[in-house]
């Protein structure tokens, strides 16, 4: 009787031992204590737009988010060294301000949180609009010159851009510096897109960058280019003038063939000198006052 009981006891102990091993195995599969989890924050992840319509502009604020992930050390280390992105879906949105959820997906890790998890998206329609070009002059014409006519080609500009930026446009202008005008002609000048404060707007796409200003001037003076002569050069020397001609303006009642422009070289030795330009005719306005002369044997 005792002998049979001992035999049953051994069998029971073996069964209990095997049961404990099986339980530990199953528990270990469900709770792998040897792979602890960690958290890590991925910062400044760019937010990309999904479903954009080319007829709208989308302004995302903020443009980056932080993502907190949880997983094993190996998984986290592999994710830290990759490029990641978050997305926001704008499909079907109309003009206005919208608060939208941010989404992301990371293989192998649990996304614990996205900060912020909602961002602001401003939807602005893209417009095409035509504006007139105005002309502004600066400086003064030289005495005796009158500006008779001015024209701009083209006289309008077409802008493409978001509605919010288009509404900032106060005027489109070109600027003509009158001090640069010596005779009738044409100039290509940049077109300026300005807001109400006179500051440039660079966020719109124009169909032209420059316009042509054509101007006609009249005056009491004629103008021309004259050769420069010299007087009183010492015997045995030769001279080189730089420049050899000069532009000048003169009264209309003077025959240009009678106008003489020259330099006086009296007393000058070999070398390079800066000398005064002279004219034999009263009322002649020379474009420059001096030239360089090089005297040598």
Instruction: Classify residue 176: in a domain, yes or no.
Output: yes
Say yes or no: 137 and 55 in one domain. Answer: no
Residue 145 tokens, joined: 């010159």
Q: What is the pLDDT of residues 199-217, one digit of tens each?
A: 999 999 999 999 999 988 8
Say yes or no: 213 and 281 in one domain. Answer: no
Phi-psi group of 232: left, alpha or beta (phi > 0 → left; psi -120 to 50 → alpha; rest → beta): left
Say yes or no: 213 and 228 in one domain. Answer: no
Q: Which of 184, 204, 219 is the last residue of a domain?
A: 219
Instruction: Classify residue 13: in a domain, yes or no.
Output: no
Q: Which of 219, 240, 260 is the last residue of a domain?
A: 219
Do residues 169 and 160 touch, judged by C-beta distance below 8 A? no
Q: Which of 199, 219, 239 is the last residue of a domain?
A: 219
For residue 4, pLDDT beyond 80: no
83: domain CATH number is 2.170.120.30
Instruction: Classify residue 140: in a domain, yes or no.
Output: yes
CB burial readout 167-206, b (16+ within 10 A) else e: ebbeebbbebeeeebeeeeeeebebbbbeeeeeebeebeb
Say yes or no: 159 and 234 in one domain. Answer: no
What is the number of structural domains in the chain?
3
Closest CA to 39 of 78, 80, 68, 82: 68
In angstroms, rounded to a whole number, what is the distance separating the alpha carbons of residues 138 and 173? 13
Say yes or no: 104 and 155 in one domain. Answer: no
Closest CA to 185 of 212, 145, 224: 212
Q: Which domain holds residue 174?
A: 126-219
Q: What is the pLDDT of residues 31-58, one digit of tens each?
A: 454 556 778 888 889 999 999 999 999 9
Say yes or no: 154 and 184 in one domain. Answer: yes
29: confidence class by pLDDT, cuts 50, 70, 90: low
Instruction: Classify residue 27: in a domain, yes or no.
Output: no
Say yes or no: 105 and 117 in one domain. Answer: yes
Say yes or no: 156 and 204 in one domain. Answer: yes
157: domain CATH number is 2.170.120.40
Do residues 161 and 125 touch, judged by C-beta distance below 8 A? no
Q: What is the pLDDT of residues 222-276, one digit of tens each?
A: 888 999 999 999 988 999 999 999 999 887 778 888 999 999 999 999 999 999 9
Q: What is the pLDDT of residue 246?
A: 95
């Amino acid at each position: 009787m005792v002998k049979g009981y001992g035999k049953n006891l051994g069998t029971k102990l073996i069964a209990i031992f095997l049961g404990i091993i099986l339980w530990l195995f199953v528990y270990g599969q469900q709770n792998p204590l040897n792979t602890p989890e960690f958290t890590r924050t991925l910062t400044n992840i760019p937010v990309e737009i999904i479903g954009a319509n080319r007829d709208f502009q989308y302004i995302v604020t903020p443009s980056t988010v932080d993502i907190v992930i949880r997983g094993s050390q190996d998984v986290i280390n592999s994710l830290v060294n990759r490029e990641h992105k978050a997305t926001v879906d704008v499909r079907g949105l109309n003009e206005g301000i919208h608060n939208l959820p941010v989404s992301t997906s990371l293989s192998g890790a649990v996304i614990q949180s996205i900060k912020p998890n909602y961002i602001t998206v401003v939807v602005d329609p893209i417009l095409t609009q035509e504006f007139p070009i105005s002309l502004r002059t600066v400086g003064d014409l030289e005495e005796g010159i009158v500006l008779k006519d001015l024209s701009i080609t083209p006289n309008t500009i077409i802008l493409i851009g978001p509605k919010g930026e288009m509404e900032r446009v106060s005027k489109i202008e070109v600027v003509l510096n009158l001090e640069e005008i010596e005779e009738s002609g044409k100039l290509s000048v940049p077109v300026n897109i300005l807001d109400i404060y006179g500051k440039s707007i660079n966020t719109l796409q124009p169909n032209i960058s420059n316009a042509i200003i054509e101007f006609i001037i009249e005056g009491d003076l004629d103008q021309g280019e004259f050769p420069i002569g010299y007087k009183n050069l010492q015997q045995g020397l030769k001279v080189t003038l730089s420049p050899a001609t000069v532009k000048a303006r003169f009264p209309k009642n003077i025959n240009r063939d009678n106008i003489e422009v020259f330099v006086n070289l009296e007393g000058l030795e070999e070398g390079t000198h800066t000398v005064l330009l002279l004219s034999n005719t009263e009322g002649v306005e020379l474009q420059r006052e001096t030239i360089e002369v090089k005297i040598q044997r």
